[in-house]
Structures are given as structure tokens and as C-alpha cells.
Amino acid sequence: MALELNTCRLPVNLASWIAENAADFKPPVGNKYLYDGEDFFVMVIGGPNARNDFHMTNSEEYFFQLKGDMVVIIRDDDGLKHVPIREGETFFIPSGVPHAPQRPPGTVGVVVERRRPPGETEHQQFYCPNCHELVHDQEFDCEDIVDHFASAMEAFWADEALSTCGSCGTRVGKPAPIKRIEFEPEVRIIREGEE
Ligand SMILES: [Fe+2]
């Protein structure tokens, strides 16, 4: 007899789910809801991504790297830190910490986040690749972290005035997807079209 559950959803085989949904893991973000709940949501995120934003929220984020190695760039008072997250490792980001996940092709990770209360905004921050000044801090009420989050990025990259550095005039363009990441002797992120 088939299992019937009134209030619970049936269990999901994660590997099968990932294989069935692989076509939806596409740049710039590559995320898809595995579970979209009232209190929290769980995303599976497949590389390659193509992001040059720093995400900052008032909530915590939990990472679990299922397949392949990735890097999260953390921006703190001392500057930028490249944190490799290897296959099988977990990682926790406290609230208020700007972070930029970098995912090579073929990698798969899980991220768990809290459902934002109504009216709570979050940030996409873009920094100048030349002089490192803040170019734009996009603060918005993210209606949907799968569709709305990527479209907010696309809108920024397409807006010449918004995406041009006020200090040195360099444009923060739409980045190409990541081709590979070298981890040794130091982290180096190589995008499509680069060597
Ligand atoms: Fe600049």
C-alpha cells in the first residue's frame, strides 16, 4: 500500500531530484527550491554560477557542499577572504556578512535560509573591480530568491549609470560563468573566456 501522509510531504531522493532538475541550474545563480517552507527554505544550487555581487541579509545561511569544491568570498573588516568549501564540507554564514558564492561547473551544493519576515529587505552589493569602491548597494524586498534575485542582478548589469563606478568610471559588467577554480597555491577564479 502506498504511504499516505496528511501533513508531511513524501521523502525525496536527493540524487534523483538533482538529476531531474539539472537543467534548471543555470547562471547567473543556478538555484532551485528543494523545499519552500513557511519558516525556512532549502535550495539546491548547481554550478557554474556567474556572480559579482555580494549578498547580505539579516539572517543566517547554512551551506552544505554535496559535489565538487566551491569558494565563498567573504567581505569583512580586514578585506576579502576566499573560503574554499570542499565537497562534503558545511559552512555557516552569520547575518550581516556580505558573501559572494563562486561555483564551478559540475558542482552541487545545498543552502538553507530563513524565510524573511514581511518588510525585511536584503542587499546585493557591487564593488568596483578596478578601485574596489562600492559602486551600488541594491537594497530590496526579495519576493523570490530564485526568480527575483537573479532578475535584480540582471537589471543592475543592464543599467549603465547604476553599474558605473563613481570613483574611477569602471563599469561593473555582467560576469561570464566560472570555468574553473584553482585552489593552490592561492584561490584563483577563472571565468569562461579567460585563461
Ligand atoms: Fe572604481
Q: How far is the CA of 171 from the centre of ligand 1 (A)?
A: 8
Domain count, the chain: 1
Which residue segment(s) compose the domain that 176 sits in?
Answer: 17-191
Is residue 90, in this structure, part of any structural domain at all?
Answer: yes
**E strand or H helix at 132, and its extent?**
none
Looking at the chain, the whole-number percentage of residues with pLDDT higher than 70 is 98
**CB atoms near residue 111 (< 10 Å):** 20
Is residue 27, in this structure, part of any structural domain at all?
Answer: yes
Is residue 133, in this structure, part of any structural domain at all?
Answer: yes
Is residue 8, in this structure, part of any structural domain at all?
Answer: no
CATH of residue 88's domain is: 2.60.120.10
Is residue 80, in this structure, part of any structural domain at all?
Answer: yes
Q: How far is the CA of 65 from the centre of ligand 1 (A)?
A: 33
Residues near ligand 1 ion, CB 5 Å cutoff:
128, 130-131, 133, 165, 167-168, 170
Q: Is 157 helix (H, G, I), strand (E, B) or coil?
A: helix
Is residue 5, in this structure, part of any structural domain at all?
Answer: no
Query: Please, what is the average pLDDT of the chain?
Result: 94
Q: How far is the CA of 165 from the centre of ligand 1 (A)?
A: 5
Question: What is the DSSP track for 37-91?
Answer: -SSEEEEEEES-----EEEE-SS-EEEEEEES-EEEEEEETTEEEEEEE-TT-EE
What is the average pLDDT across 81-96? 97
How does pLDDT run across 130-168, given as a tens digit for each residue?
A: 999 999 999 988 888 888 899 999 999 999 999 999 999
